[in-house]
Chain A
Amino acid sequence: MMTICESNVAKIEAICKEYNCDKGELINVLHQTQNTFGYLPEDVQEIIAENLQTSLAQVYGVVSFYSFFTMIPKGKHPVNICKGTACYVRGAEKIIDEFKTLLDINIGETTADEKFSLSSLRCIGACGLAPVVLIGDKVYGRVTLDSVKEILDEYQ
């Protein structure tokens, strides 16, 4: 049995109401809910399903389809590595591996101290700076294998 507190239920209900509890607005509701809570745990999805009068399986289907949605809380400093074409050909894969090794987590995971989470995305439109890494809103361009440690150290 999952539990969720009243005030969080009220927040979700308010978001659903904003979209007239229309199940066609599921993606928008999920976006806003993730902005509020940082992630979309099971209990939150259940409350959304109830409010939009749709099935929990349907909600989970959408959450699991889009890589933007996450069911795991993001770290304090979310690391996003671009895997767009330009970044990819300039070695993004190796940069990802280096982050994985240094943080000891996989893509989609968060470190045990909840400081960093790791994800990849497709093209942020800064191809001239490839390969590109985003930490929070800060952009790091022309990242090399050697600079990965330096970048992470900024947040220690």
Chain B
Amino acid sequence: MWSLYGKMQVSCSSLKLILYYNFMDTISIKIDNKNFQVEKGTTILDAAKSVGINIPTLCYMHLHDLNTTHNPTGCRICVVEVVGRKNLALACATECLPGMEIKNQTIRVLNSRKTILELILSDHPTDCLICAKNGDCDLQSMAQQMGIREIHYKGEQSHYIKDTSPAIKRDMDKCIGCRRCLTMCNDVQTVGALSAINRGFMSVVAPAFQMNLEDSVCTYCGQCVAVCPTAALTEVDHTNLVIRALADPTKTVVVQTAPAVRVALGEEFGYEPGTIVTGKMTAALKDMGFDYVFDTDFAADLTIMEEATELLDRLTRYINGDTTVKLPLLTSCCPACVNFFEHQFPEMKDIPSTARSPQQMFGAIAKTYFADKLGIKRENMVVVSIMPCLAKKYECSRDEFKTNGNPDVDYVLSTRELSRLIKQASIDFDSLIPLEFDHPMGESSGAGVIFGTTGGVIEAAVRTAYETFTKQKLDKVDFKQLRGMDWIRESTIDFNGTPIKIGIAHGLGNARKLLQEIREGKSQYHAIEIMACPGGCIGGGGQPLHHGDSNILLARQKALYAADKAKVIRKSHENPSIQKLYTEFLERPMSEKAHQLLHTHYFDRSTHVEITKD
């Protein structure tokens, strides 16, 4: 009793201490004649936000869960009046001081913001009606919010050559110089494809020597596109190509949908983040005339069959003393990661699994096994992927994934493009009655669906590798130690006496750290999973924009684990359609046929300079 009393006293005094501490750490300011207590050391912008006052911004970007603040003070839209100061202050870069009096709504402030915006607009095309970002553009919304009806300033306009790569389109005429893309490309992803070049009016964001994105070190992760406020950076749009294929009576159009799409697509139709809309998505695709609606999760199960077999093969050889074995095995599902190590870690190109990504395995099987079943030629089949990713557009265009010039996967639509296509087709998403995927390539296990989140691929691989290696059934298929959102995670899984060390990283900046540690011999793993985008595919460059809010990513992640849990079959090797595919067609994992259709090789794309003898 006394000890409890003591504890209560301690907690009471620490509460007082916290209150006192808090009191010491807040200051009084006035915004538009109202008094507020705000945290000491915050900017006017953050302080205003904390008390529910919105100050407009364009270039500023705070991705709080990526620990990234992008604050170049470039656009000047956030100007406010500070009483006692002659000039207007930038809210994003001015620290609140005790007693500061801020005016956010004076005629001077509003007119200045309008002038600034008009000056930005004077060097911006006004083709909003036919722009890819129409309705989803920060600049357009700002012009709308400020009631711009006329641009009083006429001056020179920038004109740059439009650069189209297989995945990302650059139209620098539409760049407003916010440089958010640079923060994503250089600081978060550490890819270094883009930089600000030249100076003054000629200043523009471009790859080195203004080369095309395709010739640069760009991985097509699409994180720049995800933060671009205008249509300066957009995805290469495949929607019209898909519509044309659907309208062609000679083509059988097959569609596959990636795991991360089903937990994000709903957001584009007003559903809460993390709402699982698999059935509605399938129904929408059927309505639009796709002949077969299949699931990439099926191919994810197939990937696990091959990847886990490869992992066990390398592990067994390693345990038996083969020193030539390359470990760790790196999962190879993420095409942006493949680009990343081909450009920046080419000496490690032996460590990734040779297994193709689920998208490409799906295409290869659809245009052989399934086309044979239908009795049609591969030329008459069109394979469309719905992906949360922009790099997948590039991946399907790689020469290794073509037969006589005909690609295994023809077109890739991002989650955003699919939502636009559904709207274009006047489908009322809300009233759709959920449908099941078609067979046989629509059947999947829970292991397949978690491919969409960081840690998911490796967990799926562990479920199968454990049972194959130990020849024992898993008591519990959930490997919680592999889950979470920490940037770099590691865990050791006990394979019945053999400890298997696993590393996980998401976001290319973190992948770089992990790969560097492995290269320098500081970390030793048996298997690692890296995903280019923060959160894995749920945070992909083709997903509905999350604006750095990790609550959205967490909701999508939770939904994927729920979808896994809801499945009767949760291990890839127990998927009956996969078992049948091996018996009827592929024989066994890593067979000659599997090698031909399901495996690939990687290239050294590291440098453009050849060093010659004197």
Instruction: Using known A-B contacts A46-B608, A50-B607, determine if residue A65 contacts B199 with beta carbons closer than 8 Å.
Output: yes
In angstroms, Cα B195 to Cα A5, docked, is 27
Given A56-B217, A57-B216, do A65 and B198 touch, yes or no (CB 8 Å)?
Answer: yes
Bound: A135/B199 CA distance, A: 26
- Report the Cα distance A6→B611, complex, angstroms: 6
From DSSP, what is the main secondary structure of chain B's interface residues?
Answer: loop
Asked whether, in the complex, the Cβ of A57 is within 8 Å of the Cβ of B208, the reply is yes
Identify which of A7, A46, A50, A61 contacts B195 (C-beta below 8 A). A61
Q: Which of B186-194, B345-353, B488-496, B568-576 contacts A (4 or more CB under 8 A)?
A: B186-194
**Is B86 located at the chain interface by the 8 A CB criterion?**
no
Kindly name the residue among B209, B610, B613 whose own CB sees the greatest number of chain A CB atoms within 10 A.
B209
Q: Which residue on chain A has the smallest CB distance to residue B192?
A: A55
**Is the C-beta of B428 less than 8 angstroms from some C-beta in chain A?**
no
Instruction: Let me know if B609 and A43 touch, CB within 8 A.
Output: yes
The digit string for A35-51, where 1 denotes a CB below 8 A from any CB of B, is 00000001101110010
Q: Which A residues lie within 8 Å of B197 (CB)?
A: 57, 60-61, 64-65
| In the assembled complex, A59 has its CB within 8 A of some CB on chain B | yes
CB of B614 within 8 A of chain A? yes
Contacts A42-B209, A65-B197, A65-B199; A56 near B611 (Cβ below 8 A): no
Decide if B613 touches A56 in the complex (CB within 8 Å). no
Nearest-neighbour CB distance to chain B for A130, whole angstroms, equals 24
CB–CB B610/A56 < 8 A: no
Please tell me the number of chain A residues within 8 Å of chain B, measured between CB atoms.
24
Q: Smallest Cβ distance from A18 to chain B, in angstroms?
A: 20
Q: How many whole Å from A64's CB to the nearest CB in chain B?
A: 4
Picked from A4, A58, A64, the residue with its CB within 8 Å of the CB of B611 is: A4
Cβ-neighbour of A3 out of B193, B208, B209, B609 (below 8 A): B609
Q: Which residue of B lies closest to A6 (CB)?
A: B614
A2 touches B608 (CB 8 A): yes
Task: Kindly list chain B residues whose C-beta atoms are within 8 Å of the C-beta of A6.
Answer: 611-614
- Whether B388 sits at the interface, judged by CB under 8 Å, is no
Q: Which of B198, B199, B208, B217 has the most CB of A within 10 A?
A: B208
What residues of chain B lie closer than 8 Å to A45, measured between beta carbons?
Answer: 208
**A56–B612 contact, CB under 8 A?**
no
- List B contacts of A2 (CB < 8 A): 608-610
Confirm or deny: B196 has a beta carbon within 8 angstroms of a beta carbon on chain A. yes
Whether B259 is near chain A, meaning CB under 8 Å from some CB there, is no
Looking at the assembled complex, report how far the CB atom of B225 sits from the nearest CB atom of chain A, in whole angstroms.
Answer: 17
Are A1 and B610 within 8 A (Cβ)?
A: yes
How close is B188's CB to chain A, nearest CB, in angstroms?
14
B207, CB-defined interface residue at 8 Å: yes
A4 touches B609 (CB 8 A): yes
- CA separation between A60 and B614, bound complex, in Å? 26
Tell me the minimal C-beta distance from B345 to chain A in angstroms.
13
**B residues in contact with A54, CB < 8 Å:** 192
Contact yes or no, B193 A55, CB < 8 A: yes
- Complex Cα gap A60–B211 (Å): 11
* A151: interface (CB < 8 Å): no
Q: Which residue of B lies closest to A64 (CB)?
A: B197
Which of the residues B191, B199, B608, B613 comes within 8 Å of A5, measured between beta carbons?
Answer: B613
CB–CB A60/B208 < 8 A: yes
A9 at the interface (CB under 8 A from B): yes
**A-side contacts of B608, CB under 8 Å:** 1-2, 42, 46
Q: For chain B residues 593-614, which have a beta carbon within 8 Å of chain A? A: 607-614
Q: Mark A7-33, 1 if CB is under 8 A from B, else 0.
A: 101000000000000000000000000
From B191, B194, B206, B208, A59 is in contact (CB under 8 Å) with B208
Chain A residues in 8 Å Cβ range of B607? 46, 50
State A46–B610 Cα separation when bound (angstroms): 11
Question: Pick the contact of A56 from B198, B199, B208 — CB < 8 Å?
Answer: B208
> Please, which residues of chain B bring their CB within 8 A of the CB of A50?
607
Complex: chain B residue closest to A57, CB-CB: B195
CB distance from B165 to the nearest CB of A (A): 15
11 new A-B pairs (CB below 8 Å) besides A46-B607, A57-B207? A1-B610, A5-B611, A5-B613, A6-B612, A42-B209, A46-B608, A56-B208, A57-B197, A57-B216, A57-B217, A59-B208
Q: 8 interchain pairs (CB within 8 A)?
A: A1-B609, A1-B610, A3-B612, A42-B209, A50-B607, A61-B195, A64-B197, A64-B198
The 3 nearest A-B residue pairs measured at CB? A55-B192, A57-B195, A61-B195
